[in-house]
Amino acid sequence: MPHFLDFGHFYNLSNPELWVGIGLILFFAILVLAGVPKLVASVLDAKAVKIQSELDEAARLRAEAEALLAQIRAEKAEAEAQAAEMLRTAEVEARRLEAEAKVKLEESMARRQALAERRIEQAEVQAMAEVKASATDLAAKAAEQILAERLAGQKSDPLLDSAIAQLGTRLN
């Protein structure tokens, strides 16, 4: 047994350790009577409730964040799918527009070629008409000159002169 608990020494009223023990016991008794353990327990319980509510709030926020993350991932996947679909649609549209442009270009080239051929034909017809007109004028002048030379030795006939003058206009 420890030395301070000896019957003669510990329970001696002049022993300061006895009074410290009694004071300590009285202190604890006063604390119990004042309700300090209940107060400490209620403070600790309130703190525990507050911590639990914060944990519950954190769990709720985490669940909301996970749900939001899942929603964002789903929206991202949907947006990527829409972008891929839009890309496919744009490629199909580009191919269709390319084919239409090719057809329109071929049609335009065919129209221009036909127009050029018509202009060439018109130019040929006009050139032939001009050549015929020139040949007619030249032939009329040559005939007039030949007739004039033949008739130069002969006496002039007014009927023949008017026929020669009209020859150039009638051959055109």
pLDDT tens figures, 136-157: 888 888 888 877 777 666 666 6
Residue range 39-57: average pLDDT?
95
pTM (two decimals):
0.41
DSSP the chain: --GGG-HHHHT-TT-HHHHHHHHHHHHHHHHHHHTHHHHHHHHHHHHHHHHHHHHHHHHHHHHHHHHHHHHHHHHHHHHHHHHHHHHHHHHHHHHHHHHHHHHHHHHHHHHHHHHHHHHHHHHHHHHHHHHHHHHHHHHHHHHHHHHHHHHHSSPP-HHHHHHHHHHHHHH-
More confident: 8 or 109? 109
Q: Specify if 3 maps to a domain.
A: no
**What gap in Å lies between CA 12 and CA 14, rounded to an integer?**
5
pLDDT higher than 60, residue 87: yes
More confident: 129 or 165? 129
Residue range 3-26: average pLDDT?
75
pLDDT score, position 143? 81
Q: Specify if 6 maps to a domain.
A: no
**Residue 29 pLDDT class (50, 70, 90 cuts):** very high
Q: Specify if 72 maps to a domain.
A: yes
Q: Specify if 50 maps to a domain.
A: yes
By residue range, what is the domain housing residue 72? Answer: 35-171
Q: Specify if 19 maps to a domain.
A: no
